[in-house]
Amino acid sequence: MTTRTTTILSLVLIVAAVLAGLLLWNRLPDPMPSHWNAAGEIDGYMSKFWGVFLVPIITIVLVPLFLVIPHIDPLKANIAKFRGVFNWFIVGFVAYMLYVYALTLFAAIGTPFNMTTMLLPVVGLLFIGVGFMMAQAKRNFFIGIRTPWTLSSETVWDETHKLGSKLFMLAGALTIVAAFLGENGVWLILTAILLAAFAPIIYSFILWRRENP
């Protein structure tokens, strides 16, 4: 996907979300639901203004940040090698944020559903997308598993990201499964995320030590 297409799609999605919020404004309560517990039940609220505008504002701030990263990274030539995949990730992230936003609006107008069951499969897909991007990522300072050891060696970077890619995809698959396990699924998700987050860091150090005994 080209950067121009990424920018246009992201803006269209964000504008559509804001318009949906404005069209529903008179049907939305004040305050609106803003937080759910592990059982998928509402346990927090925020004002209607922030309920309608917070997620679009966060998204519209993050998208330009994502788009500028490839231009300011000292290793931007490496990012260019997987820029198409990174652009897909940007659009996927925007879609994820606006999916959460849509669920919030539906909950606010009284649509019955379990937030955990509706949200976790999409979180799992996001993890799988991150894992796929990791498999393509080349050494840079912003995107990927950036430890002192991966940044100092192409070989350590590549091998660490092969492992990280598999672990994030596994975490995504387990998160999807956990969506149907109720509150017990929380422990499965935490275990998968902690493994995906910390195992590659430790692995990168081990690989670096092998290169530099």
Could you tell me if 167 and 87 lie in one domain?
Answer: no
Q: Compute the chain's Rg from CA coordinates.
A: 19
- DSSP track, 102-123: HHHHHHHTT----HHHHHHHHH
- 119: pLDDT confidence band, cut at 50, 70 and 90? very high
Share of the chain above pLDDT 70, in %: 100
pLDDT for the residue numbered 19: 97
Whether 182 shows a pLDDT value over 80: the answer reads no
pLDDT for the residue numbered 57: 96
- DSSP track, 136-152: H--S-SSSS---HHHHT
8 A C-beta contact, residue 134 and residue 168: yes
Could you tell me if 157 and 98 lie in one domain?
Answer: no
Question: Closest Cα to residue 96, out of 129, 51, 52, 53?
Answer: 129
Give per-residue pLDDT as tens, 20-75.
999 999 999 999 999 998 777 888 899 999 999 999 999 999 999 999 999 999 99
**Mean pLDDT score, 184-188:** 82
Could you tell me if 77 and 100 lie in one domain?
Answer: yes
Could you tell me if 52 and 132 lie in one domain?
Answer: no
Structural domain ending residue among the three candidates 56, 89, 110: 110
Structural domain ending residue among the three candidates 68, 89, 110: 110
**Number of domains comprising the chain:** 2
Supply 6's token pair.
Answer: 């990424």
| Residue written as token pair 């030539």 | 77
Give per-residue pLDDT as tens, 133-169.
999 999 999 999 999 999 999 999 999 999 999 999 9
Longest distance between any two alpha carbons in the chain, whole Å: 66
Could you tell me if 61 and 138 lie in one domain?
Answer: no
pLDDT for the residue numbered 49: 96
Could you tell me if 124 and 166 lie in one domain?
Answer: yes
Could you tell me if 54 and 126 lie in one domain?
Answer: no
Could you tell me if 76 and 137 lie in one domain?
Answer: no
**Mean pLDDT score, 120-127:** 95
For 41, residues 6+ apart whose C-beta sits below 8 A from its C-beta are 115
pLDDT for the residue numbered 186: 82
Could you tell me if 8 and 106 lie in one domain?
Answer: yes
Structural domain ending residue among the three candidates 75, 110, 145: 110
Q: Return d(Cα 34, Cα 46) in angstroms, integer.
A: 6
Could you tell me if 87 and 4 lie in one domain?
Answer: yes
Q: Which domain holds residue 41?
A: 1-110
Could you tell me if 102 and 1 lie in one domain?
Answer: yes
Give per-residue pLDDT as tens, 61-104.
999 999 999 999 999 999 999 999 999 999 999 999 999 999 99
Could you tell me if 80 and 165 lie in one domain?
Answer: no
Whether 199 shows a pLDDT value over 90: the answer reads yes
- DSSP track, 20-47: HHHHTGGGS-SSEEEEE-TTS-EEEEE-
| Residue written as token pair 């309920």 | 51
